[in-house]
Amino acid sequence: PTAKAFYDACVAADSGKGVACLYGNYAGDNMNVKMCVELAAEDGITVKTVVANDDVASAPKTERHRRRGVAGEVIMWKVGGAKAARGGSLDEVIAAAQKAIDNTRSVGIGLTPCTIAAVGHPNFKIEEGTMELGIGHHGEPGIQVTELKSADEMAQMMLDIILPDYPFVAGDEVTVLVSGLGATPVMELYILYNKVEEILTEKGIKVHRSYVGNYFTSLEMMGATLTITKMDDELKELIDDEADCMGLKQFKY
């Protein structure tokens, strides 16, 4: 979005107590949000930010500030939104959203490229019969191109990258999100999730809540992103709260 689009959204959201802007770590967004914050300040609107950087494949663990924001943003938005809905202050919303993204790691696998409508052709290439591990939602290069694997093998590959990065260990409770990239059938996403849960259970990691579906997509790209968030008592309460918005509908149970 442009700086004005961010600014207009902040003006629309402001109720006099400030606005939390939660977004992904991309150069253009960083620049435009910075300008938005300055424009809003001129109007007396306080805007505070949390920048998602959950993509473990996009930079080393020692350089998390360089990592992209991917499907972990969904968890960040859910937690931050729940805190706001509970009447939390701006600082409390920011703290909850920051904790959520700090506790989150993601990695994606792309099977086919996507086509930008204005261009009319794929903006990158994945050879038939291959897949790209660590690919970004905009087609940013991944960390490995390999022959196409089964869903079970993909689950193991993704967990081998995610689990040691945080690290997630036996006794942890987590929220797991498996998001399609746009064209992968939901049934296949559930096959991937089934193996993820099986491996986590074997490692003594308990799944508190799971999401499977097209939550964070890239047009008609085939593939999936796996996101895992470590829970604590506060995050469990916030992730479990009801939600009813365009991107997520959830009932409490």
- Are residues 84 and 15 part of one domain? yes
Chain centroid offset of residue 211 CA: 12
- pLDDT of amino acid 186: 97
The predicted pLDDT at position 51 comes to 98
| 46 and 113 inside one domain | no
User: Which of the residues 65, 137, 138, 208 is marked catalytic?
Assistant: 138
- Predicted confidence at residue 230, as pLDDT, reads 99
Alpha carbon of residue 112 to chain centroid: 20
Residues 97 and 142 in one domain: no
Q: Which of 102, 137, 152 is the last residue of a domain?
A: 102
Does residue 120 have a pLDDT over 90?
A: no
Structure confidence at residue 180 (pLDDT): 97
* 219 and 114 share one domain: yes
Predicted confidence (pLDDT) per residue in 44-101, tens digit: 999 999 999 999 999 999 999 999 999 999 999 999 999 999 999 999 999 999 999 9
Catalytic site residue 138?
A: yes
Residue at a domain's end among 55, 80, 102: 102
SS3 string of the chain?
CCHHHHHHHHHHHCCCCCEEEEEECCHHHHHHHHHHHHHHHHCCCCEEEEEECCECCCCCHHHHHHCCCCCHHHHHHHHHHHHHHCCCCHHHHHHHHHHHHHCEEEEEEECCCCECCCCCCECCCCCCCEEEECCCCCCCCCCEEEECCCHHHHHHHHHHHHCCCCCCCCCCEEEEEEEECECCCHHHHHHHHHHHHHHHHHCCCEEEEEEEECCCCCCCECEEEEEEEECCHHHHHHHHCCEECCCCEECCC
- Are both 162 and 141 inside the same structural domain? yes
Q: How far is CA 2 from CA 5, 14, 28, 50, 252, in A?
A: 5, 18, 8, 18, 35
Q: Are residues 220 and 110 in the same domain?
A: yes
- Whether the ω angle into residue 167 lies within 30 degrees of 0, i.e. cis, is yes
Show the tokens assigned to 84. Answer: 């706001």
Q: Report how far apart, in Å, the C-alpha atoms of 200 and of each of 29, 123, 230 are.
A: 34, 35, 12
Tens of pLDDT, residue by residue over 199-249, are 999 999 999 999 999 999 988 889 999 999 999 999 999 999 999 998 899
Provide the pLDDT for residue 136. 86
Do 13 and 61 reside in the same domain of the chain?
yes
pLDDT of residue 227: 99
pLDDT for 233 equals 98
Same domain, 63 and 144: no
Domain boundary among 70, 102, 134: 102
What are the tens digits of pLDDT across the range 17-60? 999 999 999 999 999 999 999 999 999 999 999 999 999 999 99
Q: What is the pLDDT of residue 173?
A: 99
Predicted pLDDT at 138: 79
Q: Structural domain of residue 141, as residue ranges?
A: 104-250
For the entire predicted model, the pTM comes to 0.95
Same structural domain, 156 and 228: yes
What CATH number corresponds to the domain at position 10?
Answer: 3.40.50.10440
pLDDT in tens, 146-166: 999 999 999 999 999 999 999
**Which CATH number does the domain housing residue 245 bear?**
3.30.1180.20
Whether residue 122 sits in one domain with residue 80: no
Specify the pLDDT at position 137.
83
